[in-house]
């Protein structure tokens, strides 16, 4: 490592003995120059640690190597799990991912898209907040920037959607619980923040009807993204009001279930599938913490890996197709039922 500081590509080209345009070509694609040239450049690179100015690069390139990743709520380990995988894969593809969280705030979501627009990203992976998202603003953004939606679908918006098949989630748990005990009631928020919640409720009702059973939906009140607390308070209220007619509950999502289990514990309601238990609780998502609830939570898990991988692959396909698909693509991955102690 020499002590002379390289200020720009011109100087680096000089010390490496290669012309600047060739060096520039190298940085855009190391394989586009002759092997011997590449070696000389890389030798110089080892000696003087030079890196092209990222701002100058992005200013001049028509398409940057930036990729935006937007999640609705970062305090949710569920999204982190996916974002982390996506991030790594983007880096492996030679792109620079930037992660943003809307923190459940639709206005912030729009701000993020605005910021993202000015980054001129090659593409964006967006998990919208959902119900309260500003549809028209997102639609406008998607017209400007190649965007793949994931997790929450907004009909017709974006070039593609990658997510989970909500019916597969609910049908597996309903079938399992019904087969091994009583059919479950469905436990959800009155005004869900996320469109998946509605799909899951509808799937529950359809599934119950298909089995010739009467669906029973328990709606708890609460707004925002503090799902655990909403589940806990809703759980207490459910017991107090005697709303529960069965000994089995299927929660709309794991975070709600974590709160419900907390309420059950506080009330001394024993949850599980052993004979001494008063209640069985199952849920959806495969939340990283679901293994550590008391009892451990039976849940229909997202196929995290497939969703992440497919999202990234679809995005890069989109980028290579010039940012547009002929028809909007949708891909839904089935759930994987994880049997644990709670049901």
Partner DNA sequence: TAAAAATCTTTACGCGCGATAAAAATGGAC
Partner DNA sequence: GTCCATTTTTATCGCGCGTAAAGATTTTTA
β-pair type (298-301, 336-338): antiparallel
Judge residue 95's burial from the number of C-beta atoms within 10 Å of its C-beta, 0-12 exposed, 13-18 middle, 19 or more buried: buried
Of 2, 10, 136, 214, which one interacts with DNA (CB under 7 A)?
Answer: 10
Contact partner at residue 228 from DNA, its own copies, none, CB < 5 to 8 Å by partner kind: its own copies
Three-state secondary structure of 213-264: CCCCEEEECCCCCCHHHHHHHHHHHHHHCCCCCCCEEEECCHHHHHHHHHHH
Give min distance, CB of 290 to its own copies, in A: 11
Residue 261 contacts its own copies per CB under 8 A: yes
Binding-site partner at residue 336 among DNA, its own copies, none, CB < 5 to 8 Å by type: none
User: Whole-number minimum distance, CB 205 to DNA, in Å?
Assistant: 53
Residue 269 as a binder of its own copies (CB under 8 A): the answer is no
Taken in order 281, 282, 285, 291, is the CA torsion positive or negative? positive
Q: Among its own copies, DNA, none, what does residue 309 contact (CB within 5–8 Å per kind)?
A: none
**Contact region for DNA (CB under 7 A) — 19-27, 126-134, 159-167, 330-338?**
19-27
The CB density around residue 205, as the number of other CB atoms within 10 Å, is 16
d(CA 137, CA 3): 50
**Helical (H) or strand (E) element with 97:** strand 96-101
Site string for DNA, 39-68 (x = CB under 7 A): -------------xx--xx-xxxx------
Contacts of 82 by beta carbon, 8 Å cutoff, 6+ apart: 71, 127, 150, 151, 302, 304, 307, 308, 311
Q: Is 220 in the site for its own copies (CB under 8 A)?
A: no
Q: Which of 5, 36, 240, 241 binds DNA (CB under 7 A)?
A: 36
- Which two three-digit tokens encode residue 278? 């008063």
The first and second tokens of residue 60, run together, are 């001049």
- Of 14-22, 177-185, 215-223, 332-340, the segment contacting DNA by CB under 7 A is 14-22
Q: Which two tokens stand for residue 56?
A: 């100058």
β-strand partners of 178: none
* Rg (alpha carbons) of the chain, rounded to whole number: 25
**Residue 99 binds its own copies, judged by CB under 8 A:** yes
CB of 93 to DNA, least distance (A): 18
Using the Cα atoms of residue 134, residue 197, residue 258 and residue 77 in order, give the sign of their dihedral.
Answer: negative
State yes or no: residue 30 binds DNA (CB under 7 A): no
**Which partner, its own copies, DNA, none, binds residue 296 by CB below 5 to 8 Å per kind?**
its own copies
Stretch that binds DNA, among 12-20, 123-131, 167-175, 182-190 (CB under 7 A): 12-20
Which residues contribute to the site for its own copies (CB under 8 A)? 51, 53-56, 58-59, 74-75, 77, 80-81, 83-84, 88, 96, 98-101, 103, 114-115, 118-120, 228-229, 232, 258-259, 261-262, 265-266, 288-289, 291-296, 341
Which residues contribute to the site for DNA (CB under 7 A)? 7-10, 12, 17-22, 24-25, 27-28, 32-34, 36-37, 52-53, 56-57, 59-62
């Amino acid at each position: 490592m020499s002590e002379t500081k390289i200020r720009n590509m011109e100087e680096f080209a000089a010390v490496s003995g290669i012309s600047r345009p060739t060096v520039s070509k190298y940085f855009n694609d190391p394989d586009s120059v002759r092997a011997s040239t590449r070696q000389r450049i890389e030798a110089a690179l080892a000696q003087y640690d030079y890196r092209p100015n990222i701002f100058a690069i992005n200013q001049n390139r028509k398409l940057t190597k930036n990729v935006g990743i937007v999640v609705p709520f970062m305090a949710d380990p569920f999204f982190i799990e996916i974002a982390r995988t996506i991030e790594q894969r983007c880096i492996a593809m030679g792109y620079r991912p930037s992660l943003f969280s809307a923190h459940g705030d639709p206005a912030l979501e729009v701000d993020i898209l605005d910021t993202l627009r000015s980054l001129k990203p090659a593409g964006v992976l967006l998990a919208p907040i959902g119900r309260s998202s500003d549809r028209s603003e997102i639609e406008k953004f998607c017209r400007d920037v190649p965007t793949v939606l994931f997790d929450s679908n907004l009909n017709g918006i974006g070039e593609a959607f990658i997510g989970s098949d909500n019916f597969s989630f609910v049908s597996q748990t309903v079938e399992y619980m019904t087969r091994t005990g009583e059919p479950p009631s469905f436990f959800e928020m009155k005004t869900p923040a996320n469109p998946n919640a509605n799909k899951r409720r509808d799937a529950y009702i359809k599934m119950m009807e298909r089995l010739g059973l009467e669906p029973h939906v328990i709606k708890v009140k609460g707004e925002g993204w503090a799902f655990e607390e909403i589940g806990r308070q809703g759980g207490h209220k459910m017991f107090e009001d005697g709303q529960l007619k069965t000994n089995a509950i299927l929660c709309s999502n794991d975070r709600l279930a974590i709160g419900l289990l907390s309420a059950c514990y506080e009330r001394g309601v024993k949850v599980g599938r052993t004979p001494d238990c008063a209640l069985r609780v199952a849920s959806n998502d495969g939340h990283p913490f679901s293994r550590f609830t008391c009892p451990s939570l039976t849940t229909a898990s997202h196929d995290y890996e497939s969703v992440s991988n497919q999202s990234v692959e679809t995005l890069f396909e989109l980028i290579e197709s010039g940012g547009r698909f002929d028809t909007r693509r949708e891909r839904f991955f089935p759930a994987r039922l994880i049997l644990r102690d709670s049901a």
